[in-house]
A and B are shown apart, each in its own frame.
Chain A
Amino acid sequence: MGRVEELIKAHGELEREVYLDFENSSPVPSEIVEAMLPYFNRIAYGNPTLTHKPGWEAYEAIWKSAEKIAGFIGAREPEEINFTPGETEANNLALMGAALKNRRNGRKIIVSEIEPLSVLHVCRMLENYGFITVKVPVDGEGFVDLEELKRAVDREVVLASFMSVNNEIGTIEPIKEIVEIVKDRSPEAIFHTDASDAYGRIPFHVERLGVDLATISSYKILGPRGVGALYVRSGVPLEKILEGQFGTQKLWPGVENTPLIMGFYSASEKAFANFERNVEHMRRLRDKLINGILEGVDEAILNGPRDDKRAPDNVNVSFLKCEGESLTVELSLKGVYVSSGSACTRRILQPSHVLLAIGRRFEEAHGSILMKVTRYHTDEDIDYVLRAIRESVARLRTIYGSMGG
């Protein structure tokens, strides 16, 4: 088992292709690729710590990117932006770095049940070093239970991590209130938020929210993969988690990847130019997709909240009597690319922890698909997707049949 050539060929000539799996990877728009290209071999290809022109050019390019990105999230200093190879690495750095450096302040880490695995699994790892994780539950739409949070936080809390927008179900969490609750009860605690699904899609301002650490990711705003950043408020003590040759990035060793950082910067600029218009466009297509599915397909359930409480790009729907992995394959054959919260690729039969945390039954979680719309999608794309979903769910339900009933 190894080759998938035949699977790719089986798609044949597709009438249209609509990529909606922006949760897991992203095509990079040509205009952003164009912005990166000079940095591979025409300019700034040197190591930014070295004393020659290509090195200084790289230093300048990285500095400018940090300055701009700092501006987009309301950070005070460009030095507060620490480039990493992505969201996973930034979350690892935030949690391990903050817990290990500040262990004298306490041993308790507070998170929600629906954090990404690059947070939850790091917590599990930190438990091996004497830390205790407390997971705060969420309600049926994914909102953190603030009363439970109040009960859970005490002076032992050294670190809290709550994502700004849930990556699977689009819930926009009340981060400002969560920060206040945590800091009221444990003033020394360091507050981290994974803002990868907030950045470029909802107003996000580190100073106004009062967070100490924030993760942002390039590919989640249509930039290249392999780059992200951790905002670290100046003065917040963090341990490095990798050792080696350090350059311009104080917390991440190795040679800076200038073209990727430029791609991240360019993607950020394009997300924030006409921010309101971009968001309105996404929100309209999101609602068209959600409403079209709920009206056009029986036994379909929306996962997560609606309207202004939901990220403008996120659509997550469960179909009963239709298993999610089958649906991703069937939709792929029609040129529609989505992902599923089904457990189908795992033997231990555990579907998406986020869907289970909001109270979805197993069969609802197995039948879920996750889609994200962008400013590049059109009404025609969504019409095509809706037709493909209706046809695909209908065909898979004929395979389900009566199931012996």
Chain B
Amino acid sequence: MATLQSWIEFILALGAPVFVPFIMIVVGLFARMKLKEAVSAALTLGVAFIGMNIVVGFMMDSMGPAARSFAQNTGIQLNIIDGGWTSLATLAWAWPLAFFMFPLQLGLNILMLITKQTNTLNVDLWNVWGKILTAVLVLGVSGSIPLAFIVAGLQVILELKLGDVNQKHIYRLTQIPGVTSTHSMTLFGIILYPLNRLFDYIPGLNKHIDANWLKEKIGVFAENHVMGFIIGGLLGLFASYSLQETLLLGVQAAASLTLFPMVAKLFMQALAPLSDAVSEFMRRRFSGRELHIGLDWPIMAGCNEIWVTAIVLVPVTLLLAAVLPGNNILPFAGIINLSLAVPALIVTGGNLLRMILLGLVTTPVFLYIATYFAPIITNLARQTNALDVPAGQMISWSTLEYPVYRYIFTQVAAGSLLGIVGAIVWLGLFSWYVKDMKKRAQAMADDQL
């Protein structure tokens, strides 16, 4: 027994790029993958960790000094670098208990389907990482592993409920039958919904604006390399770099943003056989019943309102990051705010004006919560050796998904009274959302008769 424990400690001490592949081999064999496949998938996972480490290190090395120079030059302290969702996904998968989130999500989904608490079958096994990240954040704030799993489990239940409620709204937007989105980013809709109701009192907001035309005009700015170059260039300019240095920083920033998804793809390649086997199992288990299939958010990526909203919010986010007192994050890899645009699309039914307005109002929320979580995230990155964050620097994600849920429930886990009051209010808003969105779906159905 003592030797087993010392073995486990030995493997954990090697850091995520080694121990997560070890876990992957065990899980893969358990899911009846062939040994050869399991080893190949596990190694790909290790490569993904090392790859992300290299890109994050490169980003920190190029952006970090520029941010310091920017602070000296302007007096604005933005010492947290935004690593975007790919960095945080790396951090999430590096948690030694990460893989336990699969049985938790599957178990709760099966239980809720059997007891008819939901009609949604979530086959999106990739976004298990969102629940893992929530658990990791709860653990970072409260230190409690049971509470980490409880808050993540609650999230599984809530996203299935939202999958049910949002299904008709998503169908109206995408015209794809039988599917819904179980991505937890819909949790931010709970906060957007009351704001959108307030907008009813402002005249002129129901005007339709053609997002497709705008997307054609400004879509190029959303491409990773272009966006990276612009932000890097701007940073260099305000850091009073020379022209050569500014241009170099621009291309370096473009390289970071281009390489992030290329490397993050390796995580998916490694996990694909596993997630395939699991979703196949789930579908077979419930093949007799008419269910909505829960998928990742990109089923809505054809709605150009999402892209136009996110692009319009880029300069707003940069400006607010510079002027808001107490914000310390420099928005970069996470600047395309899909965490806002996607739930805003659902809540407003694709009303571009309202979506942008919702973004303007809630961007400070994203920035402040990203600032709050930065020391916790940086700490976790160092503990697991998942990401290479140089001493004296911090990493976070400027557009952390469902920031309010994560903030409130980490505070609850830490036993804060304010957190508990917040959670009660939040759950109240949740039930309001569910009730009203159901009513609206019903009204849409009646209209079509």
Asked if A and B bind, the verdict is no
Chain A residues with a Cβ under 8 A of chain B:
none
Chain B residues with a Cβ under 8 A of chain A:
none
